[in-house]
Structure 1
Amino acid sequence: MRPAQVVFGPLVARVMNGAAGRYTQFPNALHRRNMITLKDHLYFAKATAEGAGRNGIVKSTGDSPLELKLAMPKVAAGKGDGQNPEQLFAMGYSSCFLGALQLAASRADQKEMAENAKITASVFLGHPTDPDMDGFGLRVELNVEGCDDDAIIQAAHDVGSPMHSDNPAHR
């Protein structure tokens, strides 16, 4: 298992090497996520939230419509009888990173390296350590199983980076 940690604003990623739990910083992991302008789009998704905010309903239309009841987790003084945005974010992030990992392995002519990979994303909601920042922040920890190649894992991080010139979606 190879955990990586991502903190949004600025983005920081780490990967654990070896069973001893030694963390190493990715060389170009410190990015600020920038706004970009798309020349076109490959896919369009739309979601609508209504009701009592984090205790309301969220709906997505399109190829496979989805409707979920939202609920604050019990640990945050909620009922915990529905999904929460952090769960949905973790699901999306893990699936996107798996796709990026498989693409990076394929580009390296090592497609088999990531065929059976499994990505687990843990999303943490909390207060920033910087006393000058208000509100909440997210920390994301990614665990990569089934792919032990640090170069391919780094390349997967780069696939989603707006700073990476090989990503055609960000040109």
Structure 2
Amino acid sequence: MSVLYTAKATAIGGRNGTVRSDDGLLDLQLALPAGLGGKGGATNPEQLFAAGYAACFGNAIIHSTRNQEVKIRDNDVEVVAAVGIGPNAAGGFGLTVALEVTLVGIEQAKAEVIVAEAHKVCPYSNATRGKVDVVLTVHTR
């Protein structure tokens, strides 16, 4: 694979520490969420993963329609990503992902085809395929 871009971030202190990108644009405190017994009050890895997946999947939708008759514009796609964490059968932890996609100005059947195509090209979808359960829900307005 030819790498087009590499993002680099450093985490110090695990879930109760900090994370910072090499360019300084991302510089965040981390905290174990209250739902996992922590104090909360700061972001966590699941929120960061959800944000990245939602943004990337939205762009995959836009990208997958570039050469089609029906094109999805930036403001016509909304992706809500829900990332869950819990114990797995091997004694460790695993993730679940639910992507709720809303497309504006397109019929439901066509929207479902577009979202299925985006799921094939999205790097996050390709990285998680076969490893993380990803549920897709498609809405139109």
Do they fold alike, i.e. is TM over 0.5?
A: yes
The alpha-carbon distance between structure 1 residues 113 and 82, as it changes in their structure 2 partners (threshold 3 A), is closer
Equivalent residue for 1:134, pick from 68, 77, 91: 91
The alpha-carbon distance between structure 1 residues 138 and 105, as it changes in their structure 2 partners (threshold 3 A), is same
Q: 1:15 matched to which residue of 2? A: none
Q: 1:54 matched to which residue of 2? A: 15
Q: 1:28 matched to which residue of 2? A: none
Q: 1:158 matched to which residue of 2? A: 120
How many residue pairs match? The answer is 119
Gap regions ≥5 residues in structure 1: 1-37, 163-171
Q: Say which SS state the counterpart of residue 65 (structure 2) adopts.
A: helix
Higher RCO (C-alpha 8 Å, min separation 6): 1
1:81 Cα deviation after fit: 1.6
Q: What is the alpha-carbon root mean square deviation over aligned residues?
A: 1.8
Q: Say which SS state the counterpart of residue 48 (structure 2) adopts.
A: helix
**Among the aligned pairs, what percent are the same residue?**
41
Contact kept, 8 Å, 2:54 with 2:80, in 1: the verdict is: yes
Inter-partner Cα distance in structure 2 for 1:153 and 1:61: 33
The alpha-carbon distance between structure 1 residues 105 and 114, as it changes in their structure 2 partners (threshold 3 A), is farther
Q: Say which SS state the counterpart of residue 111 (structure 1) adopts.
A: coil
90-99 vs 101-110, greater mean Cα deviation: 101-110
1:107 Cα deviation after fit: 2.7
What is the TM-score with the length of structure 2 in the denominator?
0.76
Gap regions ≥5 residues in structure 2: 128-141
Q: Say which SS state the counterpart of residue 5 (structure 2) adopts.
A: coil
The alpha-carbon distance between structure 1 residues 79 and 154, as it changes in their structure 2 partners (threshold 3 A), is same
Equivalent residue for 2:85, pick from 119, 125, 134: 125
Q: 1:96 matched to which residue of 2? A: 56
What is the TM-score with the length of structure 1 in the denominator?
0.64
Flag as ranges the 4+ runs of structure 1 deviating above 3 A. Answer: 112-115
Q: 2:76 matched to which residue of 1? A: 116
Inter-partner Cα distance in structure 1 for 2:10 and 2:73: 38
Structure with the higher fraction of residues in helix conformation = 2
